Structure 1
Amino acid sequence: MAKEQQSVLLEKYVEQLLALQAKKQEAPLNLAELKEIAESIGLSESDWQEAQNTVRQQTKVGQQHIAVANFPAAIQALQLAVNINPLAEQALFYLAQAHQLQFAQTGKKENLLAAQEYAQRVLLNNDPQLDSASIELMKTIKDSEQKQKRGKWLRLGLFAGIFLLLGLGLNFYYFSSRQAVLQEEQEVQKQWAQVENVYQRRLDLVPKLGQLLSREENTSQAKLAEIQALESQLNQSDLAQYAQQQAELSQKINALLQGLDQKSQLYRDIQIQIEGAENRIAVEKRKYNEKVGQYNQFVIQFPYNLMGYPPKAYYQTSAAGKDAQLIH
């Protein structure tokens, strides 16, 4: 028979053989069934023997590939041998071994399943020469599977540990960063308290002004009443309004002083104290704005800009002291 025709018949034989195996599933084929398929497609006895030679050749090729750790090539050669003769114990054994070694190298599940399947088929053939080797191979396959599972859990544990440490680190970093922002904010609040203190010192001088007004005209008395009324209306919850009210207080106090008896010692004492208070107010407001500037510069830097802290408003009055505005 021509070589090409023999090759075509062999391919047809393998196709029918695989189809029959699929139908029988777990039940192994026997030699009589193999020869029956061969005869049904026109393979002669010599063709059959040639096919078995191919099985032996491919088995040898597969062994050579295993020896040099070329497991994919070994699997390809041995699979061809097993397709031609599913009862070829050596081909089945080495095919199982090649899949086991490939699984140990790559960890692919399909190689593990194939190794188990072909090792079981060797045992089903009851070949005394290969049974002990097949049992050892099954143990090796099982050990490889257990090793992969342990490695998988170790990797999962390692990743979990890394993520846990990363989470703890980020959590610590977040809270330490947040604490840094809060410290900056406390500095601003402390300086604002100083601004309020010097404003209060100036307000504490208002009762002394009343002592100078006992002999003054009604106009000065009315100005003092306006100061006292404005003092009672101070609104610290609205910084813009508060700044406006303080600017008005400065104007009204200065206007009141200009209308008083400037020759008395009490007047001079109060005037010195009020001027000192005004100077101190200017100093503390400047310091407050410096703290606000530091805070605003701080919260726009990474990572503080990711925490949602808005910049604070500056406290600033006009040069004439007649109005106040917020600068952002």
Structure 2
Amino acid sequence: MFILGLQGSPRKGGNTDILLATFLEKAAAAGAAVQTIQVARAGITPCKGCGYCESHGTCVIADDPMAKQIFGLLRQADMVVAASPIYFYGASAQLKVLIDRCQTLWSRKYAFKLKDPLVATREGILLSVAASRGRQLFDGLQLTAKYFFDAIDARFSQALTYRGIEGKGAIRDQAGVAGDIDAIIEKSVRPLVARKGILFVSRQGACRAPLAAAMAQQRYGDRIRATFGALQPAATLSAPMRQMMQNLGVDLGYWQPAPLDDAMHGLRPDLVVTIGAAATEPPIAGVETVNWPIPAAPDADDAAEALRLTMATHVDGLIHWIEAPISRK
């Protein structure tokens, strides 16, 4: 399980930063892989409001961290934790810049009718602190979070909000914070961590491995977490394969081939499936490994569809492994 934290406060070491760090520390202790984006220092270019994404499905801004990294991390994440202080009854300007750029993902979902393979299981959590105590203090931020999480294909599952937190570090003295976080860890994090992990591996990770991962995640996502890696990563996914999946309503637009070390964010899978010619040694020592001898498909649309049908048969066969008990050491 991979959790992406979005630290939206411009104050490093402030209450929002502490709250998010505490949440992620507890999630990591429960077995999750975690990563934090310090949004104020990420260098994200603000949305231009140009409408390009609504007609093209991609952002016209292609050279900033949002385009190069953050869209991809949002797609990899099983849980997105957005953290912000309250500024004028809303989100910080820094977090709002990131949220506004997710109009691209909104367009892919609603204008292009595409679904991310993790849509059924991804969760969104909101964390917020404020110095004042107004009755409607968090209403604006909660609405923003609701539509942000919807745009990134995450279910807005819970918000932790705290009033009257003013002095730097005051959140540490707020009663109940540890218990509130522990409740989310038990309810949301541990069930996702408990799923079996499958890593699909092909030589370049451009076609067969991501196809298998997407199909397995769609079918068995409530019981497994599927991802993919490459022995010699290609620069991008196969265009015919990605277009074929898009024609079926599946969004692989921000998936990228990754080395094995990065594919599981430091976690070990329970099963490795190598696709293609079997390697002489398992890609990850000590992990159960099977081989699907499916050859690479020619870079053509009809070949991609034939590959999908073949892959579907193999993915169907995973049910026996999924239903078998597993012992993690």
Interval of TM-score (by shorter of Structure 1 and Structure 2): under 0.3
Q: Structure 2 length normalisation: TM-score?
A: 0.18
Give the number of the structure with larger relative contact order, counting CA–CA contacts within 8 Å between residues 6 or more apart: 2
Larger Rg computed on CA atoms: 1
Greater fraction helix: 1
Q: Structure 1 length normalisation: TM-score?
A: 0.19
